[in-house]
Structure 1
Amino acid sequence: MMLYLLLYFCLPLTRTSQISEILSLRSDSCIIALLELTENSTLGTFFDAFLSEFDNPVVSESIAFRKYEAPFEWSDGTSLLAHCNTDGNNDDIKYKFGKNCHSEIVAFKKHPPDITCLFPPPVPDKVAFEAVYKGHLNFEDFASFVNVNCETYFTSDGGLNELGVMKNRLEKELPWKYDVRFEDIINSKAEYPRCPEIADPTTIQFLKDYISKSRPVIIKNAAQDWPALQKWNLNFLKSSIPKDRKVHIKVAPFGEFEGVENITLWKDFTGFNFPSFVKDQLKFPDLVVVRPATLDMTFREFVESLASRDYAKANASLYLEYSSIQDYLEETTSDFSEFEFIADWLRLDSTNIWLSDGNTLGKLHFDPLDNILVMVEGEKELTLFDPFNNGDLYEAHIQEAKLKFSIETKSFLREGLQQSTSIVMSPLDILKPNLKMFPNAAESRPVRCRISKGDALFLPAFWWHEVQSFPSDNQFNLAINFWYDPFYNKEFPCPDCQLNVNFKYRQLMKKLK
């Protein structure tokens, strides 16, 4: 292996080609680069010695080690080295930087192509490195630097460390499935399996049995001690929030939010100009995700509209969804709290309110965050599908379209095709499934979870879910959800990409021994 490295480093690169290589390599690999001012430096000798022990074919799948003659500058004249002061009076780059420079080892983290956007990304002419090695010249410290910046799990001799072994084990255990095929359910040969239910889990039990296994579960009566369960009715909420507080409300016909339908139903279909280089990449160019119309009103007006059912009588459903409680209802935050069984482990991203008349249907999609969904009023029934084979549910870019809504007539207009795409919606309608169009869905394995007042559902990141809400006797539905940085991550939309342990939680794996 050392012979290979020496042969590689003996091939000189011009400064232009060095820059080009960095820009190219970082899309596929993390780069650990020695920027060497003088040959045979102490830092260079250490770098070579480390690679002779560390580098191997497994390592090279994720990390590219390089030596570059330094200093050199980007096209705008800035130095790649961290500790260089420029002297613009001389064009000789050695002289220009040499007085205040020294050799460095730097890390360029991997930056894969952005698959969330179908428009071609801009080509950079310079990139910043993320870290400079400042530790002692010993293999253990340097291996730690490499792992932190490349999100890898190697020992100083290039083997897999203890956390890496644990990570591989967890990920290999993931592709589990419920027993019943979706096709058997829609052909009335079987019923939906039901979510498991538990009560008052310990924090370590919840981590081992549910978070680390990406396994949904209902925690019965988890919120039974929340003041919100006793206090939060429409009159209380209306009186608790300043009367001029504005909210952003979604409006959809017949309670159906963000379904997928044929693009020809839209009035502006014939004259809409969608760039061909984007449309050619769409798997389903004839379909659109129907985004709801929006209304801005005061929170008081919204609550009064729910109570009067003025919009519901016209088959228009109002929904305060994906809305931060801290932003919209900060006066109520003392009435609920996080649960220790998850807050002890995961990092909170946001806390949201979901308030409607209770007759809403959120169509099949996934969220890239771990979720605790808590019922405060009414019920929700979620149909879930696992994220272990996303080709079954046709994960892909789908063009978006946004409804228009007339307040005067309380009617909708399908005229609002967008040049954007959704990346989290399934084109499959599970209530009217077309298995000829989506045959892979036949083998998917769903499960149903119904939660009532005081219950909480743990919904792991990337699990597909369709959410049917039901009103309480008080004729509304209210839920709070806590979103957390996910324990498992994946690229999306990418139907073949698998879940992998989030590097942020690498130390948490020690609890799973």
Structure 2
Amino acid sequence: MPLNLKQIPRVTSISKDNFVKNYLKPQRPVVIEKLTEDWPAFEKWNLDYIKKVAGEKTVPLYDDRPVKHDEGFNEAHAQMTMSDYVDLLQEKPTNFRIFLYNIMKEVPVLQSDFKFPKLGMRLIKGLPMMFFGGTDSKVFMHYDIDFTNILHFHFSGKKRCIIFPPDQSQYLYRVPHSLIAREDIDFSDPDLKKWPALKQAQGYVCELNHGEMLYMPEGYWHYMHYLTPGFSISLRSYPRKIQNLGKALYNLFFMRHFDNFMRKRKGQDWIDYKNDQAIIKTHKKLNIKE
């Protein structure tokens, strides 16, 4: 029995007024297929180009290992030069990913390759983040700490995106004091006998091809599965809903610091406790008997 996922609506192009009325204000996701066709990036951005302009940069790498108590918040697991990393991506499948990398700051020449779309959003100009992944690498289910609206553009390959609205959190085995669901859930093929609450979750799915953009409203959960080697860039705007701005401030100034404090104090017991509570709280709220 698969997850309950609807295809995310797709449009070829869209006006600012249409986007604001039908997607931004009601907070609905959409894929816009040809928004980047007038960007230099549409023709230029592939892995070989990134290797050419950023090959000597040392980049932080993440894999799919579970969170450990002795690792800091979003602490990288390894590093290598971009040139070596691109070679690895093109040679074989790898779990190593680049996550939240401000490559525009490191490689300014890339800044002239893209444009900030005029879609009625006040985009944060200083935070164009890039993400890279190899064939079959996966990004665990999570939501963003700052509850921003996200324009997620994909290049060089294909990526499958599974997303859930914030009101589906109760079904996703959310780990307390964190931004993630249980990391041992494979959302691309979940065991619904082991994770029965997922049967009730209602989400969305799409496959992004080169140059396509996914709009993810604020607070949406997302799980990314790289079907081929590729990379993406995310542009962001601040939360529109005042309650989400409050949640973002709580996450930034309290939650993550409290979690780091408890990791240092309790060690792995704190991680194990949170993972156990994700199951206990989810099943108790939904009256699911184990």
Q: TM-score under structure 2 normalisation?
A: 0.72
Aligned to 1:32: none
What CA deviation, in whole Å up to 9, does each residue of 1:345-392 have, x standing for no partner? 444461111223333111211112211111121111111111124222
Distance 1:232 1:375 in 2: 10
The one-letter amino acid of 1:247's match is V
Matched, 1:300 2:83: yes
What is the alpha-carbon distance in structure 2 between the residues aligned to residue 389 and residue 308 of structure 1? 38
- Following superposition of structure 1 onto structure 2, how do residues 318-333 of structure 1 map, counting pairs within 5 Å? 318-333=96-111
> SS of the residue aligned with 2:179?
coil
Deviations 1:179-233, CA, capped at 9 Å, x for gaps:
xxxxx645xxxx7321111232221221221111111000111111221121223
- 1:230 is matched with which residue? 43
Aligned to 2:18: 205
1:459 partnered with 2:216: yes
How far is 1:435 from its partner?
4.9
Q: Which amino acid aligns with 1:482?
A: L
String of CA shifts for 1:64-96, please: whole Å, max 9, x gaps. xxxxxxxxxxxxxxxxxxxxxxxxxxxxxxxxx
SS of equivalent to 2:111: helix
- Counterpart amino acid of residue 234 in structure 2: N
Query: Residues 255-305 of structure 1: CA distance to partner in whole angstroms, max 9, x if unpaired?
Result: xx3668xxxxx9xxxxx9x9xxxxxxxxxxxxxxxx886222222232233
**Distance change (3 Å), C-alpha of 1:306 and 1:444:** closer
Give the residue type in structure 2 aligned to 1:457. Answer: L
Structure-2 change in CA distance of 1:210 and 1:294 (3 Å): same
Distance 1:333 1:438, change over 3 A: same
Kept in 2, the 8 Å contact 1:382–1:448? The answer is yes
Q: Deviations over 1:240-259 (max 9, x none)?
A: 2363x222122x3xxxx366
Q: 1:334 is matched with which residue?
A: 112
Q: 1:218 corresponds to which residue?
A: 31
SS at match of 2:77: strand
> 1:448 and 2:231 equivalent?
no
Q: CA deviation at 1:239?
A: 2.4
SS of the aligned residue for 2:139 comes to strand
TM-score (normalised: structure 1): 0.42
Residue 139 (structure 2) pairs with residue 362 (structure 1): yes
Per the alignment, do residues 306 and 340 of structure 1 end up closer, same or farther by CA in structure 2, a change over 3 Å counting? same
- Name the SS for the 1:230 alignment partner: helix
Structure with larger Rg: 1
Residue 59 of structure 2, aligned match among 244, 247, 266: 247
Show the counterpart of 1:132. none
| Superposition pairs of residues 15-34 of structure 1, within 5 angstroms | none
1:484 equivalent among 237, 242, 249: 237
Q: Which runs of 5+ in 1 are unaligned?
A: 1-183, 261-265, 267-271, 275-290, 398-420, 496-513
Contact kept in structure 1, 2:5 and 2:202, CA below 8 Å: no
Q: Structure 2: where are the runs of 5+ without partners?
A: 256-280, 282-290
Pair 1:383-2:162 in alignment = yes
Q: RCO (CA 8 Å, sep 6+): is it higher in 1 or 2?
A: 2
Shift of residue 479 of structure 1?
Answer: 1.4
Give the Å deviation of 1:425. 0.7
State the secondary structure of the residue aligned to 1:296: strand
CA–CA distance in 1 between the matches of 2:66 and 2:28?
Answer: 26
Match of 1:424 in 2: 179
| 1:433–1:237 distance in 2 versus 1, CA, 3 Å | closer
Aligned residues of 1:229 and 1:377 also touching (Cα < 8 A): no
CA distance in 2: counterparts of 1:200 and 1:431, whole angstroms: 29
8 Å contact kept, 1:348–1:485:
no
Flag the structure with higher helix content.
2
1:106 is matched with none
Give matches, 1:109-508, under 5 Å: 185-186=2-3, 192-241=5-54, 243=56, 245-250=57-62, 252=63, 257=64, 294-309=77-92, 312=93, 316-343=94-121, 345-348=122-125, 350-367=127-144, 368-397=147-176, 423-427=178-182, 428-431=185-188, 433=190, 435=192, 438-471=195-228, 476-488=229-241, 489=244, 491=247
In 1: Cα distance, 2:7 partner to 2:41 partner: 27
| Offset at residue 394 of structure 1 (A) | 3.3
Q: Deviations over 1:6-26 (max 9, x none)?
A: xxxxxxxxxxxxxxxxxxxxx
Between the aligned partners of 1:452 and 1:241, the Cα distance in structure 2 is 23
CA RMSD in angstroms, aligned pairs only = 3.1
Aligned partners of 1:326 and 1:366: how far apart in 2? 23
